[in-house]
Amino acid sequence: MPMLSLNSSVSSAPGVGNQNVKKLHSLGIQTVEDLLYYFPFRYEDFSEQKKIIDIRPGETVTIRGKVMEIKNPPVRGRRRITEVYIEDETGSVKAVWFNFMMPLKFLSKGKYVQFSGKVSLFRGKEVYFQHPNFELISKSVYQKSDQTDQKLNSFTGSTSGLVPVYPENRKVNSYFLRRVIQVTLKKVNPQELIPKKFLQEQKLPEIQEALNNIHFPENSQKAELAKKRFAFEKMFLIQIQALKIKQKWEKNSAFLIDFDQKVTQHFVSSLPFNLTDAQKKTSWQIIQDLEKDVPMNRLLEGDVGSGKTIVAVMAILAVLNKGFQVAILAPTEVLALQHYSGINNFLKKYQFKIGLLTGSQSKIGEEKISKAKFSTKIKSGKVSLVIGTHAIIQEKIHFKNLALVIIDEQHRFGVKQRAFLQQNAMKIKDGSEKTLPHLLTMTATPIPRTLSLALFGNLDLSIIDEYPKGKKEIITKVISPEKRVRVYGFIENQVKKGEQVFVVCPLVEESSKISQVKSATEEHESLQNQIFPNLKIGLLHGKMKPKEKEAIMSEFKNKKFDILVSTSVIEVGIDIPNATTIVIEGAERFGLAQLHQFRGRVGRRKEQSYCFLFTSENVAESTARLKTMEKTNNGFKIAEADLKLRGPGQFLGTLQSGVPDITMESLSDVKLIQSARVYAQSLLEYDPNLKNFPLLKNKSASLAEQIHFE
């Protein structure tokens, strides 16, 4: 059989056949490369070999013996059982498989076999193996059973040492994958993506050796080194593409915004508070970017309450003062309205026309106008600042001279949506040179520096890592079910003092599947009718229409409700200064970073604020995790803890889609990410267009499409 290409269809892999192609497709495996890059998520260690007489229930061991009997007894329904009895010189034992017929194909009486798996106990008496890995061996190997034989068997693709376990589904199991991958590896001679010099300096194996060692490692050290190599490979590709995007971006031109020191100083001196050093530093970084004729592409990252908005307002003022337009894109109508109110307040002494455009309304100042008229005013330049939601990203919306785009919580917008706004505002100077607006993206989700470097390598980074002086830390307590009543009493006292309260629930409506988790509607009913019958309680959730949400938030802000019961719709950006207490139901169901976002809904004034994390029954481990929230109010420290506890995959959630699993595992490895970036920079300096590395060029571009970080 000729050698296979990585681009070949998986149907050409040995032992696949037409029937198995669809099964592999169900796992997303389309090509030979997909198959070989379908990595194990763990390994079972069967290196400990024992005699049958010495095995004990609960152990994971390997034994060898002679097949004495095979049974396939009939059972009710569709369930099928296979039983194989083997013996060695010390005793006998049986292995049982449910709905797995492969042993019948390869095993027969008199043959020698090796079982590797967990020893179980049947009805407290009979010791047996349940669903073990099996491997045919020769009589001579059996007779040398004190030695470990690491050679793979072509039937089962298993070993007596580390056995790879893959992500499975109902159609494909690890037995099949091991067998197909093992024979396919012998038919492939993959090209090396990474320059050998880089691998040598990092002491990483080349691709063929790494593929063998990640699927069928001789020991755990070789498995880990192979995983590190592929993590480095993916991160190297990501960094190449990030740097190429940055280079491409910097070839465009932008509107040059001269810094007017007097205007900025007058604005800052008029503020009722002093800027922190971090706010001054990040503002200066942005202002310096605006002075360049290359478009800014910067991420402003700041914890809840750290003062990102005022930094953005200083950039807006600098641009509007020079006669250009600014657009602010918010992920929700509630947040857009909040920005509209807050920024109007900061800029009210200036004569700029500020407009709001969302799915449900459009207005300039307090005057509501039709969307058609609004669009005309934007195009003519009569509206200087447009604040809105996805409604801004429409083909009918055109700007006269849009010089700055600010995107809040940028990960909630797709690449195409962000690109559309930029391209819509693009000016062609001479038929080739593009003038793009400066781009400032913001996030209130603290992201560990490692992740920022890995996932936002194409952006310049500004971090606000301190809080305004005088801001009190929010007192946070984890509350078990038996202590709820005391907290309810505390809440009642807070309301009597004129304070307001948030109550956050994981679900909108009661779920039979998650009976212990309180829903927003259920909790609202309970609080209003049983616990606080004399208080006014509102309800807010994502299923409500935008106008309903706006009305509820407005009423809560105007103190028509004492308590607002809500789902996670309040996670980002909601600003109710009078709310000083937040209760989070089923807190164990949220990640620490998300809990920190919820907590940021209070503590907006100088008064002491409180956060109570209500847990469900039997959550001892979760309670220990939640104690982190009691120890610190620093979002970056919490994000680091969350990353360690949950792993990058769960931590990121929808923040970044498409990142390969093996890369996810490496996102805590700062040195690996930094090395990948250094090597990517050096390669692009040597060969900017990767003319000498066509395979690397194609792979990095392909990966960029998966990750959507442009």
Q: What's the pLDDT score for residue 620?
A: 60
Q: What is the mean pLDDT of residues 20-25?
A: 89
Backbone angles phi, psi at 47, to 5 degrees: -75, -20
Render pLDDT for 521-543 as a digit per residue (tens, 0 to 9). 888 899 999 999 999 999 988 78
| Most confidently modeled range among 65-74, 155-164, 257-266, 570-579 | 257-266
Q: What's the pLDDT score for residue 470?
A: 72
Render pLDDT for 351-364 as a digit per residue (tens, 0 to 9). 899 999 988 888 99
Q: What is the mean pLDDT of residues 183-199?
A: 92
Q: What is the mean pLDDT of residues 68-91?
A: 84
Distance between CA atoms of residues 415 and 393, nearest Å? 12
Distance between CA atoms of residues 710 and 180, nearest Å? 36
- What tokens does 215 get? 């699927």
Q: What is the mean pLDDT of residues 476-480?
A: 92
Confidence band for 164, pLDDT divided at 50, 70 and 90: confident
First to last CA, the chain: 42
Q: What is the mean pLDDT of residues 608-624?
A: 78
203: left (phi over 0), alpha (psi -120 to 50) or beta: left
Predicted confidence (pLDDT) at residue 517 exceeds the cutoff of 50 = no
Q: Residue 194 in contact with residue 240, Cβ under 8 Å?
A: no
Q: What is the mean pLDDT of residues 551-576?
A: 82
Q: What's the pLDDT score for residue 77?
A: 65
Backbone angles phi, psi at 503, to 5 degrees: -130, 120
Predicted confidence (pLDDT) at residue 231 exceeds the cutoff of 50 = yes
Q: What is the mean pLDDT of residues 540-549?
A: 81
Q: What is the mean pLDDT of residues 74-95?
A: 85
Confidence band for 516, pLDDT divided at 50, 70 and 90: very low
**401 vs 155: which has the higher pLDDT:** 401
Confidence band for 169, pLDDT divided at 50, 70 and 90: confident
pTM, full prediction: 0.70
Q: What's the pLDDT score for residue 433?
A: 61
Predicted confidence (pLDDT) at residue 53 exceeds the cutoff of 70 = yes
The fold of 257-291+306-443 is Rossmann fold (3.40.50)
Q: Strand 563-566's sheet: what is its strand order? A: 475-479, 610-614, 579-584, 500-504, 563-566, 537-540
- Nearest of 552, 594, 559 to residue 580 by alpha carbon: 559
Those residues with Cβ within 8 angstroms of residue 144's Cβ, 6 or more apart along the chain or in another chain: none
Predicted confidence (pLDDT) at residue 571 exceeds the cutoff of 70 = no
Query: Which segments of the chain belong to CATH 3.40.50.300?
Result: 257-291+306-443, 475-632
**308 vs 47: which has the higher pLDDT:** 308
Confidence band for 322, pLDDT divided at 50, 70 and 90: very high
Render pLDDT for 101-134 as a digit per residue (tens, 0 to 9). 778 777 889 999 888 888 998 887 889 998 888 8
Which option is the CATH number for 42-165: 3.40.50.300, 3.40.50.1970, 2.40.50.140, 3.40.47.10?
2.40.50.140
Q: What's the pLDDT score for residue 125?
A: 81
Distance between CA atoms of residues 468 and 447, nearest Å? 20
Query: Which segments of the chain belong to CATH 2.40.50.140?
Result: 42-165
Share of the chain above pLDDT 90, in %: 38
Q: What is the mean pLDDT of residues 214-231?
A: 91
- Taken in order 106, 110, 116, 120, is the CA torsion positive or negative? positive
- Taken in order 649, 652, 657, 662, is the CA torsion positive or negative? negative
Q: What's the pLDDT score for residue 290?
A: 96
Q: What's the pLDDT score for residue 148?
A: 42
Confidence band for 438, pLDDT divided at 50, 70 and 90: very high
The fold of 475-632 is Rossmann fold (3.40.50)
Give rounded-to-5 percent helix, strand, coil for the chain. 40, 20, 40
Q: What is the mean pLDDT of residues 503-512?
A: 66
| Of the candidate ranges 401-405, 455-459, 627-631, the one whose mean pLDDT is the lowest | 455-459
Predicted confidence (pLDDT) at residue 562 exceeds the cutoff of 90 = yes
Q: What's the pLDDT score for residue 655?
A: 47
Q: What's the pLDDT score for residue 560?
A: 94
Distance between CA atoms of residues 591 and 614, nearest Å? 14
Rg (CA), the chain: 31
Q: What's the pLDDT score for residue 514?
A: 41
Q: What's the pLDDT score for residue 590?
A: 84
Q: What's the pLDDT score for residue 557?
A: 87
Distances 44 to 102, 164, 295 between C-alpha atoms, Å: 20, 6, 52
Distance between CA atoms of residues 313 and 342, nearest Å? 10
Q: What's the pLDDT score for residue 495?
A: 95
Q: What's the pLDDT score for residue 612?
A: 96
Predicted confidence (pLDDT) at residue 511 exceeds the cutoff of 50 = no
Q: What's the pLDDT score for residue 147?
A: 47
Tell me the residue type at 610: Y
Q: Residue 435 in contact with residue 416, Cβ under 8 Å?
A: no
**357 vs 2: which has the higher pLDDT:** 357
Predicted confidence (pLDDT) at residue 72 exceeds the cutoff of 60 = yes
Place of tokens 């982190």: 628
Share of the chain above pLDDT 70, in %: 84
Distances 11 to 19, 225, 426 between C-alpha atoms, Å: 9, 30, 46
| Beta-bridge partner residues of 119 | 129
Confidence band for 512, pLDDT divided at 50, 70 and 90: very low
Distance between CA atoms of residues 33 and 39, nearest Å? 11
436: helix, strand or coil: strand
**130 vs 416: which has the higher pLDDT:** 130
Share the mean pLDDT of the chain.
83
Predicted confidence (pLDDT) at residue 456 exceeds the cutoff of 90 = no
